[in-house]
Structure 1
Amino acid sequence: MKDRIIAVLIFAVIYMTVWLSIFVFTYKNSKVKNKISMFISTHTGLSASYAYSLFATIYYCIMPLIGGIVIMKMAGLNFFDIFHRGSDNILRTFLCFVTGELVVMSIVAVPMVIYAVLHPEVRIDEAIKDINWISGISRLPGKIPMLIPCISACCEEFFFRVVLFVVLIALGMPALYAMIIVTLLFVINQVVLTKNGLQAFVLGVSSFCISLVSCLLIVITGNVIASFVIHASFAGFYANGGK
């Protein structure tokens, strides 16, 4: 089991590094971004103004799904093994979500309020809007920008908590160690996409709290559904300017 845990962790770290490196490289390299935009626009007829944002969104959602499926296969688990535990009780699932949401909001609020008091001139909501992936999806047409953050959050949740965390525990790793590792990887995943200290602070604190609470809920109840909703609600909140 120990060898399988190590193999899963090595794969997860390498996979996450490749996933994020490609993503960051494409949006930081204007030449590559323009080529992708023109290629998509030429072959699909979509406007070049949001073609790259569409590509980045699809890429960012697909990668954690593929990675999660591979990790499940490495551990010998399937979707039923992951999702059936604790999800048969709708009321319990709802209570898990409400409890987790309130706890995360309460914990996150403290450092945010302290920062706002110490730096009253800073608009945290404006800083968050300037994060690359958030500003990118705002270019997409219609109501899509309202939905994409929630969808991408669910894809991230699938990779980190629903699969990686559950798999590590299933393979014999103590829950505390699995929680620390998954939370660390998730925070890195979020912070690496920011452009300045304030963005890193906000997403770092939020990611830490979301991961910690979601992991605890999974350990206590065995339910993974609530973690999707908690993460998606926060992503939607931030991406839509805290509205």
Structure 2
Amino acid sequence: MSGPAFAALATAVVAGWLALYRLPFNDPARRRRTALWLAGRTGLRPEAAFAVFGTAVYLVLGALALTVLLACTPLALHRLFAPPAPGTALALLLAVLGTSSANILGVSLLYRADPRVDVPGEIARIQWIASVLALPRHYRWIIPAAAALFEEVLFRGVILLGMAELGSGPVPALAFSTCLFAAGQVALVSTRVQAYVLGTSSLTLGVVGGLLTWATGGVLPALVLHMSFAGFYTNLSAASTPGARTAPGRLSL
């Protein structure tokens, strides 16, 4: 398979994964019925039961997408977790600082354009974040980190390095994997502010994480970057929005 053909396949597979994850539960009434059904069988609160269910659906469908794409490349999964060189720690620290600074700049520009915008509130209302905030506090780190781990293996590992193995150069592979990742994040939001914040942060994370992956040959540094980023900003949304929980009638997947 050629690099362009693999890129087309990756686009279709990722689009199918996100559509199957999002569309069946787009209806609030269906989400509510599902949450109540899950709560009755698990003993959890409806919000928490649905959050766990949503995470499981996301990861299971994503695992199927990853399996399909990995089978179309000459990559071996264990190669993606190759230990980085000892000097990578400094590069990772600079990457974390650079990514955070770029995202702070992006939000600052948004506030300059519209000082009345409520960025923490908008982020807390993103469906998957609202679900995470319905869980006990320690799970607010675990679930974003689990999603980040999976996304790095897929986008920076299988797609970025897979395109390289299939003959694509570093710039096309980095650009494609980053844009596909950002598009997938934006597809899961519902307002322009959410799209701007997640779109710009995903582009930054994709570029920096992609460069780390390309330089080290594995996803571990990018994985640490993404896991810390996802956990920190999810919990920052909770801290900045007192009582930010999913209301019973607005359960989200």
Could you say which residue in structure 2 is the equivalent of 1:112?
Answer: 107
CA contact (8 A) 2:79 2:218 kept: no
2:98 is aligned with 1:103: yes
SS at match of 1:241: helix
User: Normalising to structure 2: TM-score of the pair?
Assistant: 0.85
For residues 8 and 150 of structure 1, the distance between their equivalents in structure 2, rounded to whole angstroms, comes to 27
Could you say which residue in structure 1 is the equivalent of 2:230?
Answer: 235
Could you say which residue in structure 2 is the equivalent of 1:126?
Answer: 121
Could you say which residue in structure 1 is the equivalent of 2:44?
Answer: 46
**1:100-121, CA deviations, whole angstroms, 9 ceiling, x for partnerless residues?**
1122122222222122233222
For residues 28 and 13 of structure 1, the distance between their equivalents in structure 2, rounded to whole angstroms, comes to 22
Which of 134, 143, 147 matches 2:138?
143
When the two structures are aligned, how many residues end up with a matched partner? 238
Q: Which runs of 5+ in 2 are unaligned?
A: 240-253
**1:179-222, CA deviations, whole angstroms, 9 ceiling, x for partnerless residues?**
11111111111111111111111110000000011111222232
CA contact (8 A) 2:74 2:165 kept: no
CA contact (8 A) 1:62 1:155 kept: no
Could you say which residue in structure 2 is the equivalent of 1:168?
Answer: 163
Written as runs of structure 1 = structure 2, the 5 A alignment for 1:10-29 is 10-29=8-27
CA offset at residue 13 of structure 1? 1.7
Identify which range, 142-151 or 174-183, moves more after superposition. 142-151
Which of 189, 201, 204 matches 1:194?
189
C-alpha spacing 1:192/1:47, structure 2 compared with 1 (3 Å): same
CA contact (8 A) 1:128 1:241 kept: no
CA RMSD of aligned residues (A): 2.0
Give the residue type in structure 2 aligned to 1:202: V
CA offset at residue 88 of structure 1? 4.6
CA contact (8 A) 1:61 1:156 kept: no
User: Normalising to structure 1: TM-score of the pair?
Assistant: 0.88
| Identical counterparts, % of pairs | 28
C-alpha spacing 1:142/1:122, structure 2 compared with 1 (3 Å): closer
Which of 60, 63, 74 matches 1:62?
60
Q: Which runs of 5+ in 1 are unaligned?
A: none
